[in-house]
Amino acid sequence: MIVNGISKFIVRGNRLIINNIDETDNGRYRCHAYNNYDKTGEIKDYLLSVISKKKIYFFVAVENNLFNC
């Protein structure tokens, strides 16, 4: 998948890079590492939970104080 000309998922060596991550990337990911000496290898499951900051807008209440002099 390509987003804005950049691959969404990139595998570099033993790392998985997820670009432009958001809530749609939530879920289970699995890493299966093996080599010529150990064909079975190791399997590791990861659960990714993306929590994005919601935009919070603060409204400041302005009070008009009228003083009688």
- Picking from 55, 47, 52, the residue whose alpha carbon sits closest to that of residue 20 is 52
Q: Is residue 57 part of a domain?
A: yes
Structure tokens at 69: 């002099």
Averaged pLDDT for residues 18-29: 88
Q: Is residue 48 part of a domain?
A: yes
What confidence score (pLDDT) does residue 28 get?
Answer: 93
Question: Over the stretch 24-58, which tens digit does the pLDDT of each residue have?
Answer: 899 999 988 888 999 899 999 999 998 876 655 55
Q: Can you tell me the distance from the alpha carbon of 6 to that of 46, in angstroms, rounded to the nearest whole number?
A: 24
Q: How many domains is the chain partitioned into structurally?
A: 1
Q: Is residue 16 part of a domain?
A: no
Q: Is residue 65 part of a domain?
A: yes
What confidence score (pLDDT) does residue 55 get?
Answer: 59
Query: SS3 of 69, please?
Result: coil
What confidence score (pLDDT) does residue 14 get?
Answer: 80
Structural domain containing residue 68 = 23-69
Q: Is residue 41 part of a domain?
A: yes
Q: Is residue 43 part of a domain?
A: yes
Q: Is residue 36 part of a domain?
A: yes
Q: Is residue 8 part of a domain?
A: no
What confidence score (pLDDT) does residue 68 get?
Answer: 46
What confidence score (pLDDT) does residue 13 get?
Answer: 83
Look at strands 27-33 and 42-48 and give their pairing: antiparallel
